[in-house]
């Protein structure tokens, strides 16, 4: 298990995976990390589909170009009927944020147990829902292809804007 700083530095977007499958206990570890994520008012609106059958992987590959040969793909979304609606800031609701924190936990856990992952947002949620037959009340936030890495980080991985552009002290 890595120290948090080492883990945050070690994670990168992996865009090529070895064909070997991911063990069920590692999938369970990733799902457990998802469960531990904080959500607004502890609403836990997240929904996660684990795609590992040939049929499911074919379906997701048919609607997304960024699966990169991963043997497992997590589809992460949220139930719009379960997320928190902020009464002070309508129409804000927390589902997208909740699902993003869940997915971040999953990425970091994957890295900690020797797996690569890539957060993928380049898809049409409607096409993904249709291809997989997902329920109407769910919004899909991210796809997370996961597997044993077969690629190094891209050049973009180490392009950081300077702190003063991003951080302001008041
Ligand atoms: C919201 C979001 C959407 C992303 N969508 C994609 C995507 O569709 N395809 C892809 O290859 N990478 C995608 N990425 C990965 C980013 O390009 C990557 O995180 C960034 O370039 C930094 O590189 P690193 O993750 O290796 O540090 C996405 C990342 C985030 C946070």
Instruction: Choose among 69, 47, 71: nearest CA to 128.
Output: 47
What does pLDDT average to in each consecutive run of 10 residues of the chain (170 residues)? 95 98 98 98 98 98 98 98 97 98 98 98 98 98 98 96 97
Mutate which of 70, 107, 118 for ligand 1? The one with the most ligand atoms within 8 Å of its CB, which is 118
Q: What is the CATH number of domain 17-150?
A: 3.40.109.10
pLDDT number for residue 1: 86
* Other C-beta atoms lying within 10 Å of the C-beta of residue 12: 19
User: How close is the Cα of 87 to the center of ligand 1, in Å?
Assistant: 32
Instruction: Evaluate: CB of 43 within 6 angstroms of ligand 1.
Output: no
Has this prediction a pTM greater than 0.85? yes
Q: How far is CA 20 from the centre of its chain?
A: 20
Which 3 state secondary structure label does DSSP give 29?
helix
Shortest-distance Cα residue to atom 22 of ligand 1 = 157
Nearest CA to ligand 1 atom 6: 120
């Amino acid at each position: 298990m890595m120290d948090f700083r080492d883990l945050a530095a070690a994670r990168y977007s992996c865009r090529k995976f070895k064909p070997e499958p991911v063990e069920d206990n590692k999938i369970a570890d990733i799902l457990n990390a998802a469960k531990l994520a904080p959500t607004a008012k502890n609403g836990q609106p997240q929904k996660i589909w684990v795609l590992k059958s040939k049929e499911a992987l074919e379906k997701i590959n048919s609607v997304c170009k960024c699966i990169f040969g991963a043997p497992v793909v997590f589809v992460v979304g949220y139930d719009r009927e379960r997320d928190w609606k902020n009464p002070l800031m309508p129409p804000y609701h927390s589902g997208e944020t909740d699902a993003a924190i869940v997915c971040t936990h999953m990425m970091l856990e994957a890295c900690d147990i020797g797996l690569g992952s890539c957060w993928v947002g380049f898809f049409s949620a409607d096409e993904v829902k249709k291809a997989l037959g997902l329920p109407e009340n769910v919004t899909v936030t991210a796809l997370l292809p996961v597997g044993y890495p077969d690629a190094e980080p891209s050049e973009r991985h180490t392009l950081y804007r300077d702190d003063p552009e991003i951080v302001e002290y008041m």
